[in-house]
Amino acid sequence: MNRISEFKELTKALCEVYGPTGREYKAAALIKEKLAPYADEFRTDPMGNLIAIKRGTSGKKVMLSAHMDQIGLIVLDIDDKGFIRFAPVGGIDPAATVLREVVFENGVRGVIYHEERTLKGENPKLAQMFIDIGARTREEAEAHVSVGDICTYAPHFVDMGSRVSCGALDDRICCAVVIEAMKSISSPHDIYAVFTVQEEVGLRGATAAAYSVHPDFSINLDVTASCDTPECEYMPMRMGEGPTIKFMDRSAVFTRPVIDFMKRVAEKCGVKVQNEVLRYGGTDSGAIQPMLGGIPAACVSVPTRYIHSPVETADIEDCLGAAEFVKAMAEESELPTA
């Protein structure tokens, strides 16, 4: 198998595993299995963050991170006829949600439809939608699903050659990038590969992990918008043009020394990179950077179309570039200090 098909296989496996915000343990178990040959040590913290460590000798710590959680829907109520009402967990788009197939933690499947009479041709809101799991009564539904259970869009992986589409590419595709980088990193520093929980509800796992790891330098990986589709809002990122050097999003502005370091390393390792300024959204680096008196923090993104939909789409070459870029940064003996 060549690198592209190998990476595609890994991405597919990671995207197909259940793991909405707060219920990431199955994704964590799979990542741990894939990473086992390439780490000296594993830890799981009380929130569920998975931390893999590859030891170096410099006494410095570099933290690589990507979030494991995916957006989901949480059960609010089950009515007499067994229809399930739900609330969003993370940034759920109503238009991407209606008519979807969903899957629960125990494997139970359902489909989403909407109230008809009250709508009069308008787009349904989440509060007007319900999940049908095929139950006839509340009792029948409650035998499978309870209030507080979380489901996700059922994964459907589309292989388009060097490009792929699936829900949960945000951010499992970057979990795959971190695994890919860990395979061959040989660094003077201790490398902490951190797979965080609860990013989609406010960077909560990364907050805990940045505190416990206390890295000297942090590199976070996430997806970002790819502004190359019809009538798209202008931003500089394009799918297929390589991983990004992020300058800013709504959670962080990256420092000049970190940006200069990233540019220098990109030049040295020959990976084609592009600039990123994201008008909206945030990543775990927004939680990591201000932690513990301030941590030099970098963010590398994979441009991705249709983020937070069941058809998130990305380019594998960008991911392989991201893995090489991250590896090269983690192997530098001189790290940015501001």
Which residues bind to Zn ion, rule: CB under 5 A?
170-171, 222
Residue number with the smallest Cβ distance to Co ion: 170
What pairs with residue 50 in β-bridges?
44, 195
For the bound state, the minimum distance from the C-beta of residue 233 to Co ion, rounded and expressed in Å, comes to: 17
* Nearer to Co ion among residue 84 and residue 225 (C-beta): 225
* Nearer to Co ion among residue 93 and residue 140 (C-beta): 93
For the bound state, the minimum distance from the C-beta of residue 250 to Co ion, rounded and expressed in Å, comes to: 12
SS3 220: strand
Under the binding rule (CB under 5 A), the answer on residue 24 touching Co ion is: no
Which pairing describes strands 163-165 and 313-315: parallel, antiparallel, or unpaired? antiparallel
> Pattern of binders to Co ion over 131-170, x per CB under 5 A?
---------------------------------------x
For the bound state, the minimum distance from the C-beta of residue 200 to Zn ion, rounded and expressed in Å, comes to: 7
d(CA 26, CA 63): 22
* Nearer to Co ion among residue 192 and residue 306 (C-beta): 306
For the bound state, the minimum distance from the C-beta of residue 152 to Co ion, rounded and expressed in Å, comes to: 13
Gyration radius from the chain CA atoms: 20
The site partner of 222 among Co ion, Zn ion, none (C-beta below 5 to 8 Å per kind) is Zn ion
d(CA 10, CA 338): 35
* Nearer to Co ion among residue 170 and residue 276 (C-beta): 170
* Nearer to Co ion among residue 241 and residue 312 (C-beta): 312
Under the binding rule (CB under 5 A), the answer on residue 249 touching Co ion is: no
Residue number with the smallest Cβ distance to Zn ion: 171
Do 197 and 90 form a contact (C-beta atoms < 8 A)? no
Query: Which residues are marked as active site?
Result: 199
Please report the DSSP string for 151-217 in residue order: EEEPP--EE-SSEEE-TTHHHHHHHHHHHHHHHH---SSEEEEEEES--TTTSHHHHHHHHHH--SE
Which pairing describes strands 244-248 and 274-277: parallel, antiparallel, or unpaired? parallel
For the bound state, the minimum distance from the C-beta of residue 274 to Zn ion, rounded and expressed in Å, comes to: 18
Tokens at 227, concatenated? 């502004």
Please report the DSSP string for 89-128 in residue order: ESS--HHHHTT-EEEETTS-EEEEEE-STTTTTSPPPGGG
Residues binding Co ion (CB under 5 A)? 170
